[in-house]
């Protein structure tokens, strides 16, 4: 028996004990009232609930989780994508008023998708973007508070994931399955190379462009590499020579870097490229500014394409032709996968073969490639 707290101690958040005492039942009954109402006589139940309301009692999620080993929460870890430029550039983009509301990113879509799916299954969603580097890695914090979670590729150190995935379901998003020892994780990716290949083919065949330049990413990124691969395939298929490396690799895939990349590419000797293909939309948008500054018309003088299909891509002028990734859907599928693992019972959880799915992407033809009037 736990020592009864003095008298009606004020200012202390009420617990099952308080409610139990005041309603003349045991804590077990109070617990039952919340977890399995029907197992308690109606009269007793009402009395308990009344006292609870009266006392301002709210069951502690922590205590509950501890005792029942489950939280009813799913998580999502994503990188701190915030592109400083993105916020203000939207307005500058075409002289409209400020509208940072339009800059809906990648991760927002995934959040939307996950939240909805999670809700359908009765879960709440815990989201956290990676901070530079706290004492305890972000994942640990999230992992410790959820039943399972999704991680945007390369958001957290592989090593951490390896450890964590041993104790709860984790689904890897967008990044192709990292070859390492994480091959037991469920994983969802999009058809990066298919998309970039198709986009490139479009530029070559439908617009007759042949002098292309590709801007990739300096850091290791399977997604970006896959895109580049698709680009190369399309070029080769059309008999266009391409190197094994992108024409340029930027340190960060932001608008500022995209603008800089455009300058760099344009300053190179030799024939000016007819099209600039960027590994993501933000860079493409940044390039648009450079091009405008240099007095080059898009797409007449040079076509520009991005990748991702973020809202921003359609708001700038000219609207950017890109490859849309079904991020919302990815979020939903992630939840489905997690829920499946979670409901699969402890044994099956590890037994089941890791799932790996590839979501289809679609080329979005807009003005920046010449498909619609700029």
Partner DNA sequence: CTGAAAGCGCTAACAC
Partner DNA sequence: GTGTTAGCGCTTTCAG
Q: How far is the CB of 253 from a second copy (least distance, A)?
A: 18
By beta-carbon proximity to a second copy, the closer residue of 213 and 319 is 319
Q: What does 170-232 look like in DSSP terms, one character per residue? A: EEEESSPPPTTTTTTSEEEEE-HHHHHHHHHHIIIIIT----EEEEEESS--HHHHHHHHHHH
Task: Name residue 335's beta-bridge partners.
Answer: none
Interior CA angle at 306 toward 305 and 312, to 5°? 115
Q: Which of residues 16-75 bind DNA (CB under 7 A)?
A: 16-17, 24-29, 31-32, 34-35, 38-41, 43-45, 57-60, 62-64, 66-69
Quick one: what does residue 143 bind among a second copy, DNA, none, with the CB cut-off 5 to 8 Å set by partner type? a second copy
- DSSP-derived secondary structure letter, 22: H
374 forms part of the interface with a second copy (CB under 8 A): no
Tell me the C-alpha distance between 130 and 152, whole Å.
10
Report whether 124 contacts 72 (CB < 8 A).
yes
Quick one: what does residue 294 bind among DNA, a second copy, none, with the CB cut-off 5 to 8 Å set by partner type? none
Tell me the C-alpha distance between 198 and 360, whole Å.
12
For residue 194, the Cα-to-chain-centroid distance in whole angstroms is 20
By beta-carbon proximity to DNA, the closer residue of 24 and 251 is 24
Q: Which of residues 313-352 bind a second copy (CB under 8 A)?
A: 314-315, 324, 327-328, 346, 350
3 forms part of the interface with DNA (CB under 7 A): yes
Tell me the C-alpha distance between 51 and 30, whole Å.
10
Tell me the C-alpha distance between 129 and 79, whole Å.
5
Q: Which of residues 200-259 bind a second copy (CB under 8 A)?
A: none
Quick one: what does residue 314 bind among DNA, a second copy, none, with the CB cut-off 5 to 8 Å set by partner type? a second copy
Quick one: what does residue 31 bind among a second copy, DNA, none, with the CB cut-off 5 to 8 Å set by partner type? DNA
Quick one: what does residue 15 bind among DNA, a second copy, none, with the CB cut-off 5 to 8 Å set by partner type? DNA
By beta-carbon proximity to DNA, the closer residue of 59 and 79 is 59
Q: How far is the CB of 169 from DNA (least distance, A)?
A: 17
Q: Which of residues 157-196 bind a second copy (CB under 8 A)?
A: 159, 163-164, 166-168
Contacting residue, 80, 245, 292, 301, with a second copy by CB under 8 A: 80
By beta-carbon proximity to a second copy, the closer residue of 57 and 228 is 57
Report whether 128 contacts 141 (CB < 8 A).
yes
Residue ranges of alpha helices (H) inside the chain are 16-23, 27-35, 42-55, 61-68, 84-93, 106-120, 138-143, 158-164, 192-201, 222-237, 255-267, 281-293, 312-315, 327-343, 345-351
Question: For binding to DNA (CB under 7 A), which residues are involved?
Answer: 1-3, 12-13, 15-17, 24-29, 31-32, 34-35, 38-41, 43-45, 57-60, 62-64, 66-69
């Amino acid at each position: 028996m736990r020592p009864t707290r003095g008298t009606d101690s004020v200012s202390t958040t009420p617990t099952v004990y308080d409610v139990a005492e005041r309603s003349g039942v045991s804590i077990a009954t109070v617990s039952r009232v919340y977890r399995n109402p029907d197992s308690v006589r109606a009269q007793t139940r009402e009395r308990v609930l009344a006292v609870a309301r009266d006392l301002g009692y709210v069951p502690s999620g922590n205590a509950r989780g501890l005792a029942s080993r489950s939280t009813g929460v799913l998580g999502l870890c994503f990188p701190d994508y915030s592109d400083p430029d993105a916020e203000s550039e939207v307005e500058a983009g075409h002289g409209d008023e400020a509208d940072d509301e339009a800059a809906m990113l990648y991760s927002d879509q995934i959040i939307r998708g996950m939240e909805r799916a999670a809700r359908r299954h009765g879960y709440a969603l815990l989201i956290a973007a990676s901070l530079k580097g706290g004492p305890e890695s972000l994942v640990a914090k999230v992992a410790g508070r959820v039943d399972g979670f999704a991680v945007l590729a390369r958001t957290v150190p592989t090593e951490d994931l390896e450890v964590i995935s041993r104790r709860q379901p984790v689904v890897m998003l967008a990044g192709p399955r990292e070859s390492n020892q994480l091959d037991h994780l469920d994983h969802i990716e999009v058809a990066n190379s298919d998309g970039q290949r198709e986009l490139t083919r479009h530029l070559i065949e439908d617009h007759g462009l042949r002098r292309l330049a590709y801007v990739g990413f300096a850091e290791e990124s399977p997604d970006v590499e896959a895109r580049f691969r698709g680009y190369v395939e399309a070029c080769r298929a059309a008999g266009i020579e391409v190197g094994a490396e992108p024409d340029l690799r930027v340190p960060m895939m932001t608008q500022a870097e995209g603008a800089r990349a455009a300058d760099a590419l344009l300053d190179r000797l030799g024939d000016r490229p007819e099209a600039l293909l960027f590994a993501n939309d933000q860079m493409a948008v940044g390039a648009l500014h450079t091009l405008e500054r240099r007095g080059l018309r898009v797409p007449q003088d040079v076509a520009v394409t991005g990748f991702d299909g973020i809202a921003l891509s359609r708001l700038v002028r000219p609207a950017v032709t890109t490859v849309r990734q079904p991020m919302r859907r990815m979020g939903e599928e992630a939840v489905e996968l997690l829920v499946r693992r979670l409901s699969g019972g402890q044994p099956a959880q590890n037994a089941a073969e890791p799932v790996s799915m590839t979501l289809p992407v679609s080329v979005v033809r807009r003005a920046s490639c010449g498909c619609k009037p700029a």
